[in-house]
Amino acid sequence: MSKSAAAKLIESPRCPINVAARRSGLTAHVIRAWERRYRAITPDRSTTARRLYSDWEVQRLVLLRQAVQLGHRISEVANLPMEELHALVGRDTLPGLEATPRIPFTRLRLVEVAIAAAAGMDSQAFLQSLLQATRTLTVPALFEDFVDPLMHEIGVRWRDGRLRVVHEHFASAHLRTFLGDLMTSSSVAPSGPCIVVTTPFGQHHELGALMVAITAMRAGWEVVYAGSSLPAEEVQHAAEVRNARAVALSLCYPSDDPRIEGQLTKLRKLLPQTLPIFVGGSASEGYAPTLSAIGARRPLDLREFSAELDALRARLA
C-alpha cells in the first residue's frame, strides 16, 4: 500500500496503539486484526517492538471504520487507496488533518456518564447509565460502542492514575450483573445447536465471555455458559455432555500467561477435531501462534462471530 506525498509529510509524531485506538474509534484488538489479516496498515515498530502509528495511519483507520459502518466488508476496503476511501465515505478532508472519529455525542456522553458514576462509586447513577444505553443502542452497538469503550477507558484511566483499582472492580461487578441479566432476557427455548462459552483456566475476566454468550443466543444457539477460568478437561466435559457443536473462549487478561498455551493445546486434543473453537478478546493476540497451531477461529468482532455462527448453523442443519 503506497502513501501519498501529502501523507508522508504528516507521519510524525507517532503514537502507540492505545492512542491510535482512542483517536480512530476502534479497539486495539480490531486494529491488530485488520493489520494481521488484511494488511490494512503497516505501522512501524519501536526498539522494544511496540507498534507506532502515524497521523496518516490513524486517519486511514478512521476512514476504514466509517466504511465498515456504512456496510462495506473490511476485506473489500482494507487495501483501497486513501483517495478511494475518502470518496467511499463521502469525505474530502486531507489525510491526517482530522483524525478524531465522528462518534455521536450521545454515545460519548453515555460512556462519560458511566465513568463519572464509577469514579464516584455511585451504584444508582451507574445503573442508570447502563439502562440508558440499552434504550439508546441496539445490542451489537451496546457492546461495540458502549461496553468495550467504557472498560477500555476505565483501564486507561486506571493505568495513568486518574482512577483506582476499586473503580475498575466497581464497574466490572456492575457490568457483570447487567450482562448476566441481559443474557437471561435473551434466552429462548432451545432449538438450535449447542455452544459452550467460557474462558480458559487463569482468565478470570468474564465480561467478554458474557457478550459472546449473548451474541450466540441472539443467533439462535443454545448456550452453555460456564463462567470463567475453566480447565480444558472441564470444557471438554461440558461439550461432551451437551453434545456441543462449537466452543467459544474469551481471552481478556493477561496476554502473557504461560499456562494458556498448554490449556489451549490440551483442549484441542480433547475435543473432536471437527468441533470448531472460536477465540476472541483483547488478549487473544498475545497467544496468536498457539491459536494458529490449534486451528482456532478468530472472528474480528462480535458481528463477524455472529455471521460465522449463522454459517456454521446452516452447515449443521
Whether the upstream peptide bond of residue 276 has omega within 30° of 0, thus cis, is no
Q: What is the pLDDT along the chain (317 residues), one digit of tens a residue?
A: 444 444 443 455 578 888 888 788 787 778 888 888 888 998 888 777 788 888 888 889 988 888 887 778 888 899 999 888 888 887 434 344 344 444 444 667 888 899 999 999 999 999 989 988 888 788 888 898 889 889 988 988 998 899 999 999 999 999 999 999 888 877 665 678 999 999 999 999 999 999 999 999 989 999 999 999 999 999 999 999 999 999 999 999 888 999 999 999 999 999 999 999 999 998 898 999 999 999 999 998 888 899 999 999 999 98
CA distance 283 to 299: 14
Tell me the one-letter amino acid at 169. Answer: H
CA distance 200 to 182: 23
pLDDT of residue 245: 97
pLDDT of residue 59: 86
pLDDT of residue 97: 35
pLDDT of residue 264: 97
The single residue listed with the C-alpha cell 456496510 is 71
The single residue listed with the C-alpha cell 447509565 is 129
pLDDT of residue 189: 59
CA distance 224 to 242: 8
pLDDT of residue 201: 96
Q: Which of helix, strand or coil describes residue 278?
A: strand
pLDDT of residue 122: 95
Among candidate residues 184, 219, 215, the one with its CA nearest the CA of residue 197: 215
Dihedrals φ, ψ of 59, to 5°?
Answer: -65, -35
Q: Which three cell numbers stand for residue 60?
A: 486511514
Where does residue 166 rank: exposed (0-12), middle (13-18), buried (19+ CB within 10 A)? Answer: exposed
pLDDT of residue 96: 40
Q: Which three cell numbers stand for residue 132?
A: 440508558
Asked if residues 284 and 315 have their Cβ atoms less than 8 Å apart, the reply is no
**Bridge pairing between strands 51-52 and 44-45:** antiparallel
CA distance 264 to 249: 10
CA distance 209 to 305: 12
Q: Which three cell numbers stand for residue 265?
A: 493445546
Q: Which three cell numbers stand for residue 7?
A: 501523507
pLDDT of residue 188: 65
Tell me how far CA of residue 115 lies from CA of 29, 41, 52, 283, 315, in angstroms: 22, 31, 28, 23, 43
Domains annotated for the chain, with CATH where assigned, are 5-88 (1.10.1660.10), 105-184 (1.10.1240.10), 189-316 (3.40.50.280)
Predicted structure pTM score: 0.71
